[in-house]
């Protein structure tokens, strides 16, 4: 009877001790998860007010949610008497192994986060990156997708883009189109410049501010090369580029100003004996 009484007392003692721990752990778990949800809702609202990209928002919220939940579960486990030191060490080792295995992907992920936060470009912008020129179609966490003028889809890793140079042709709202038109040495330069200026001023896609310009660029072997510089909106770049060349050729021809072919002067020298 004494042994039964002792076992009963021990059982009651363990029940009181571990029951209170279990109850406290359950309460901590539910309260902790509620706090995590509350923090994540606050974070999401802050990201919306900060106008963080929609692609990045869910990821940051989920990342914060899982991180905080892991902390809650570790706290609950320690309250139940589980040794969490080895558990944390295993998690750290697993994280290191995964990080080494996915080093390239993590680099692209980090690059994507930086691009979405600092936004050097957005969907619809005309950019040059990693040797490619095209319109940004989509900005993902790991890659950026652009469409080139040849209608080719190019998928560029974000790690490479974030570590390289980015040229955004759309950011300033206007582009300068660089053209070169050659006229013969016999042609009237002032007249040719006025004709080219009229061509650009009459084009509705050429901006009046900044004003287009025509200047002598080079005295070449066969022609006087004029630098023709119209400004336009980024979406009109190729229309202005090709259209100005065509209209310039027609206008110069109509006014008798020639665009010469390459020429060479050949001098023949006779010796005195042959003379």
Domain assignment of residue 58, yes or no: yes
Tokens of 184: 């013969």
**Domain match, 137 and 55 both:** no
Domain assignment of residue 260, yes or no: no
Q: What percent of the chain has pLDDT over 90?
A: 33
**Domain match, 6 and 90 both:** yes
**Domain match, 182 and 240 both:** yes
Report the C-alpha gap between 173 and 146 in whole angstroms.
19
What average pLDDT does this structure show over 12-25?
66
**Domain match, 157 and 133 both:** yes
Domain assignment of residue 34, yes or no: yes
- Residue owning tokens 């869910």: 58
9-18, 26-35, 92-101, 221-230 — which one is most confidently predicted on average?
221-230
Domain containing residue 29: 2-101
pLDDT at residue 86 above 70?
Answer: no
Least confident range from 26-35, 141-150, 168-177, 255-264: namely 255-264
> What mean pLDDT is reported for the chain?
81
| pLDDT tens-digit series, residues 90-99 | 666 666 565 5
Residue 12 CA from chain centroid, whole number: 65
* Alpha helix positions (H), the chain: 2-49, 56-79, 84-101, 103-118, 158-162, 189-201, 237-254
Q: Give 69: exposed, middle or buried? Use CB within 10 Å, 0-12, 13-18, 19+.
A: middle
CATH of the domain at 208: 3.30.70.100
- Exposure of 173 in the CB half-sphere (CA atoms within 13 A): 3
Domain assignment of residue 218, yes or no: yes
What average pLDDT does this structure show over 147-155?
92
Domain assignment of residue 112, yes or no: no
What average pLDDT does this structure show over 237-265?
87
**Domain match, 213 and 128 both:** no
Residue 142 CA from chain centroid, whole number: 11
| pLDDT tens-digit series, residues 120-131 | 888 889 999 999
**Domain match, 69 and 16 both:** yes
| pLDDT tens-digit series, residues 152-167 | 999 999 988 988 899 9
Least confident range from 8-12, 85-89, 253-257: namely 8-12
Confidence of residue 68 (pLDDT cuts 50, 70, 90): confident
pLDDT at residue 176 above 70?
Answer: yes
Confidence of residue 21 (pLDDT cuts 50, 70, 90): confident
CATH of the domain at 40: 1.10.287.1260
Confidence of residue 242 (pLDDT cuts 50, 70, 90): very high
Please enumerate in sequence order all residues whose Cβ is within 8 A of that of 125, keeping only pairs 6 or more positions apart, or say none.
Answer: 135, 136, 168, 169, 170, 171
**Domain match, 6 and 92 both:** yes
Domain assignment of residue 114, yes or no: no
> Phi, psi (5° rounding) for residue 174?
-155, 155
- The count of domains in the chain is 3
Using an 8 Å Cβ cutoff, are 140 and 186 in contact?
A: no
**Domain match, 53 and 139 both:** no
Domain assignment of residue 110, yes or no: no
**Domain match, 160 and 189 both:** no
Higher pLDDT, 156 or 71: 156
Domain assignment of residue 42, yes or no: yes
Confidence of residue 8 (pLDDT cuts 50, 70, 90): low
Which of 168, 191, 223 delimits the end of a domain? 168
CATH of the domain at 138: 2.30.30.60
**Domain match, 79 and 145 both:** no
- Residue owning tokens 């996915």: 102
What pLDDT, on the 0 to 100 scale, is given for residue 112?
81
What average pLDDT does this structure show over 238-246?
93
**Domain match, 9 and 93 both:** yes
**Domain match, 57 and 90 both:** yes
């Amino acid at each position: 009877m004494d042994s039964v009484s002792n076992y009963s007392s021990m059982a009651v003692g363990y029940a009181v001790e571990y029951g209170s721990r279990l109850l406290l752990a359950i309460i901590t778990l539910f309260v902790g998860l509620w706090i995590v949800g509350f923090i994540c809702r606050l974070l999401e609202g802050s990201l919306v007010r900060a106008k963080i990209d929609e692609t990045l928002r869910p990821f940051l919220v989920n990342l914060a949610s899982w991180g905080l939940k892991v902390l809650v579960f570790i706290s609950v486990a320690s309250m139940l008497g589980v040794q969490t030191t080895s558990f944390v060490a295993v998690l750290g080792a697993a994280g290191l192994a995964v990080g080494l295995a996915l080093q390239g992907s993590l680099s692209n992920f980090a690059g994507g986060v930086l691009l979405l936060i600092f936004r050097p470009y957005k969907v619809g912008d005309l950019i040059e990156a990693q040797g490619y020129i095209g319109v940004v179609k989509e900005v993902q966490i790991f890659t950026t997708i652009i469409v080139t003028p040849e209608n080719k889809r190019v998928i560029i890793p974000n790690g490479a883009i974030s570590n390289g140079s980015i040229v955004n042709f759309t950011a300033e709202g206007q582009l300068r189109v660089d053209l070169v038109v050659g006229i013969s040495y016999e042609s009237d330069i002032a007249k040719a410049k006025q004709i080219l200026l009229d061509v650009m001023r009459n084009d509705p896609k050429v901006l009046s501010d900044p004003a287009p310009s025509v200047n002598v660029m080079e005295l070449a072997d066969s022609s006087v090369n004029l630098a023709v510089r119209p400004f336009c909106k980024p979406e009109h770049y190729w229309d202005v580029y090709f259209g100005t060349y065509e209209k310039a050729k027609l206008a110069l021809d109509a006014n008798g100003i020639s665009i010469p072919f390459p020429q060479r002067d050949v001098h023949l020298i006779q010796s005195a004996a042959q003379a």
